Amino acid sequence: MSFSSISFLFLFMGLVCLCYWLIPRQYQTAKLVLLFVAGLLFYTWGDAKALPVYLLSVLFNCFAGAEIGEVLDEEGTRPGDPRPQRAKVRVIFAAAADLAVLALFKYSALAMPVGISFYTFSAMSYLFDVYYGRTEDRGNFLTACFYITFFPKLISGPIVEYKDMAEQIDYRTLSSSDFTIGTTKFIAGLFKKVLIADNFQALVADISGKQTMAAGTAWLCMIYYSLELYFDFSGYSDMAIGLARIFGFQFDENFNYPYLSQGLTDFWRRWHISLGRWFRDYVYIPLGGNRKGKQRQIINLCVVWILTGVWHGSTLNFVFWGIYHGCLIMLERFVVPGVERWPAAVRIFFTDLLVGIGWIFFFCPGLGASVHFMGQMFGAGGLGFVNKETVYYFTGNLVLLVAAVICCGPGLKKLNAKITASGQAGRVVSTVLVALLFALTIAYMVGSTYHSFLYFTF
Amino acid sequence: MQKRTLYAAGKFAALALIVLIIVRMAASDRVSRTGFSAMTDAVTADFQTDHVLEGQAQMVRRLYGLDPSAYDGVLLYYPGTNMDCEELFLVKLKSTDQQDEVRAAIESRKSTQLDNFNGYGTYQYGMLQQSVTEIDGNYCLFVCADNADTIKQDFLKAL
């Protein structure tokens, strides 16, 4: 089931929210049980065949984490102490089993369960946080069960770390302002997905299906795909974060205007933030990070970026994409001097250009197709830089392009904040605008066909 | 100690069940990554097209009652005349959940053809009885030809 489907919005979400808010405040466990059951239903609706693997995976990790917690208790290990060998063996075994199952589904011919990359990383976060003593609960079975199956983040993240959510599961407040903020965030995400990303999706499918095209058309396709991917994934993340907020959970932002980044390092602090943080906390830092000299840091960065590429897909172009970003980040850090002194606009331009070229490896089906597409960008199609087709794709979608570019920056959010802060009348205007946006999005959804989310396939 | 043993037992039991499911899935639910055009080339390499016509979407609907747009790829060669029975039908499924509907459509088509030739087209009836239906993961094949087994082998190799 997708967040941007009518059945989810008006049936599933409506019912779950209503029941959740109707349960009195003192029955927190009942609220959690409701969300747990809703999570199972949500998953079953999306991929019923994969439910047994998903449930067993959740159970495996909950048992494994609880066992590690017990071992730490038996040894009397405190958070700062070195981890006992018995716990180390268990965490390595559990993480290896998780990765083996993930790799089997992702890189073999088996049908991949929906959301496996995301829920496996969540489960591993639970194991590592218990192992390193980053949470107080030492592997509470039920808390972990709820954490992994929490449906707003289940299918496509954000990959919220266990240590950031465990406390909220036990102690959280729920107010009408949470509902308002959550609903606004959800609607903003829905707008990004339905009105912007889906329109770019149709355009990209149309253009990328051509064997030859003018160089300008190929560049337009790259720009359109960059915008589609951003609005699709950040739209989903906004919906997930908004939905969680409606239930009283506060998640960090997963995107922070990434196309305004002033460098590749900056870009990865703003794009899919939760994945970057996961790799930093559970791979880069445990490997030594930048604390063991430059040579070791380069090796650690290589490991992280290859893994980032492999996480996204099984084909060679995803591995290449990971290496491409790793190399650019290392160049930025160690080779090109004084990048930070370049004018901001220049840095943003080059960052977006390099990121956009990287996305070609995402939307082309293989490495050969990516190289072929890049050739088109430099005139290999033999149709010149601009032809009638380029003009058609540009002028026919100019309004969409301008709207998307505006939405890539914080301008609208700031404007809304300003209107809301101006008093009672401002808050009414803001609410009416959000309601209109919702109505417009729903009207568009009813009249168009359903488009899946791009990150569902990762 | 008792609690830890319980957790360990639960952990290994869950893992064992996951492995069991994966083994079962690998046996029955294998999804081929072969592209439809590559598969088409493979199954038509040994298929004689002298007595058949290539069917478009409308013919797929008429003979099999299936909507081609619901699948990743559909190829149909159907008999050129009423006295021919050579046929090849290849479908790439979007999901293995579609296996049953395609299997039922193929069985229904085969049954209709058997009824058509029963009693007067001995040769054709025999060929239809020797026809091959092969459903494997996301690909389905129905072939009625003298060398149906060879085409089936081509299909299995290409998966």
Higher pLDDT, A200 or A155: A200
User: Which residue of B7, B22, B25 is in closest CB contact with A63?
Assistant: B7
pLDDT tens readout for residues A86-141: 999 999 999 999 999 999 888 876 778 888 999 999 999 999 999 998 887 777 78
Asked whether the beta carbons of residue B26 and residue A59 sit closer than 8 angstroms, the reply is: no
Q: What is the pLDDT of residue A353?
A: 96
Residue A5 C-beta-side C-alpha neighbours within 13 Å = 13
User: Is A272 assigned a catalytic role?
Assistant: no
Q: Which chain A residues are within 8 Å of B3, Cβ to Cβ?
A: 66, 70
Confirm or reject contact between B14 and chain A (CB < 8 A).
yes
Rounded-to-integer distance, Cα A269 and Cα A256, Å:
8
- The two tokens of residue A351 are 């960052």
pLDDT tens readout for residues A368-392: 888 999 999 998 878 888 889 999 9
Q: What is the pLDDT of residue B120?
A: 80
CB-based contact B104:B98 (threshold 8 Å): no
Confirm or reject contact between B32 and chain A (CB < 8 A).
yes
Q: Which chain B residues are within 8 Å of A111, Cβ to Cβ?
A: 25, 29, 31, 95-96
Task: Tell which residue, A265, A197, A253, A220, has the closest CA to residue A356.
Answer: A220
- The two tokens of residue A152 are 């707003």
Q: What is the pLDDT of residue A457?
A: 56
CB–CB contacts below 8 A, A to B: 62
Q: Which chain A residues are within 8 Å of B72, Cβ to Cβ?
A: none
Rounded-to-integer distance, Cα A5 and Cα A448, Å:
11
Q: What percent of chain A has pLDDT over 90?
A: 52
For A82, the 3-state DSSP assignment is: coil
Confirm or reject contact between B157 and chain A (CB < 8 A).
no
Residue A4 C-beta-side C-alpha neighbours within 13 Å = 31
List residues in chain A touching B: CB distance below 8 A. Answer: 49, 52-53, 56-57, 59-60, 63-64, 66-67, 70-71, 74, 94, 97, 101, 104, 108-111, 141
- The two tokens of residue A338 are 């004084």
Mean pLDDT over B36-41 rounds to 89
Q: Is the pLDDT of residue A254 over 90?
A: yes
Main-chain dihedrals φ then ψ at residue A356, nearest 5 degrees: -60, -40
- Average pLDDT in chain B: 89
Task: Tell which residue, A230, A194, A185, A188, has the closest CA to residue A4.
Answer: A194
For A247, the 3-state DSSP assignment is: coil
Rounded-to-integer distance, Cα A155 and Cα A45, Å:
12
Rounded-to-integer distance, Cα A230 and Cα A193, Å:
9
Asked whether the beta carbons of residue B14 and residue A52 sit closer than 8 angstroms, the reply is: no
Rounded-to-integer distance, Cα B125 and Cα A295, Å:
74
Q: Which chain B residues are within 8 Å of A71, Cβ to Cβ?
A: 4
Q: What is the pLDDT of residue A454?
A: 59
Asked whether the beta carbons of residue B15 and residue A97 sit closer than 8 angstroms, the reply is: yes
Residues A321, A327, A332, A333: is their CA dihedral positive or negative?
positive
Which single residue is written with the structure tokens 């790793």? A326
pLDDT tens readout for residues A39-69: 999 988 877 888 999 999 999 999 999 999 9
Q: Is the pLDDT of residue A9 over 90?
A: no
Main-chain dihedrals φ then ψ at residue A245, nearest 5 degrees: -65, -35
Q: Which residue of B has its CA nearest to A105?
A: B22
Asked whether the beta carbons of residue A111 and residue B14 sit closer than 8 angstroms, the reply is: no
Confirm or reject contact between B16 and chain A (CB < 8 A).
no
Q: Which chain A residues are within 8 Å of B1, Cβ to Cβ?
A: 74
Rounded-to-integer distance, Cα B126 and Cα B128, Å:
5
User: Which residue of A57, A70, A101 is in closest CB contact with B3?
Assistant: A70
Asked whether the beta carbons of residue B11 and residue A53 sit closer than 8 angstroms, the reply is: no
Within 8 A by CB and 6+ apart from A73, the residues are A138
Q: Which of A312, A325, A372, A451 is catalytic?
A: A312
Confirm or reject contact between B22 and chain A (CB < 8 A).
yes
Q: Which residue of A has its CA nearest to B5?
A: A67
Higher pLDDT, A381 or A296: A296
Q: What is the pLDDT of residue A126?
A: 94
Residue A31 C-beta-side C-alpha neighbours within 13 Å = 22
Q: Which chain B residues are within 8 Å of A64, Cβ to Cβ?
A: 7, 11
Candidate from A39-43, A436-440, B26-30, B42-46 with smallest mean pLDDT: B26-30
Q: Which chain B residues are within 8 Å of A57, Cβ to Cβ?
A: 14, 18
Mean pLDDT over A303-313 rounds to 89
Give the ipTM of the model, two decimals please: 0.81
Mean pLDDT over A159-181 rounds to 87
Task: List, as ranges, residues 40-79 from B with C-beta within 8 Å of A.
Answer: none
Q: What is the pLDDT of residue A83?
A: 85
Band (B130; pLDDT cuts 50, 70, 90): very high
Which single residue is written with the structure tokens 């770019």? A200
Asked whether the beta carbons of residue B22 and residue A101 sit closer than 8 angstroms, the reply is: yes
Task: Tell which residue, B28, B31, B154, has the closest CA to residue B92.
Answer: B31
Higher pLDDT, A325 or A3: A325
Q: Which of A49, A53, A54, A67 to mutate to test the interface with B (most CBs of B within 10 A)?
A: A67
Alpha helices in A364-423, H assignment, sequence order? 367-377, 388-395, 398-407, 411-421
- Average pLDDT in chain A: 88
Q: What is the pLDDT of residue A360?
A: 93
**Which one-letter amino acid corresponds to residue A139?**
G
User: Which residue of A56, A74, A111 is in closest CB contact with B17?
Assistant: A56
Q: What is the pLDDT of residue A447?
A: 67
Question: Chain B closest CA to A406's CA: distance in Å?
Answer: 37
Say if residue A158 is preceded by a cis peptide, omega within 30 of 0.
yes
Q: What is the pLDDT of residue B105?
A: 92
Mean pLDDT over A10-21 rounds to 90
Rounded-to-integer distance, Cα A156 and Cα A53, Å:
17
**Which one-letter amino acid corresponds to residue A113?**
P
Quick one: how far is CA A206 from the chain centroid? 26
Within 8 A by CB and 6+ apart from A299, the residues are A287
Asked whether the beta carbons of residue A70 and residue B29 sit closer than 8 angstroms, the reply is: no
pLDDT tens readout for residues A332-380: 888 877 777 889 999 999 999 999 999 999 888 788 888 999 999 998 8
Mean pLDDT over B147-156 rounds to 92
Listing from the earlier edge strand, what are the strands of the sheet with B139-144? B52-54, B73-79, B87-92, B139-144, B132-136
Rounded-to-integer distance, Cα B107 and Cα A251, Å:
53
- Domain residue ranges in chain A: 6-172, 177-406
Mean pLDDT over B131-153 rounds to 92
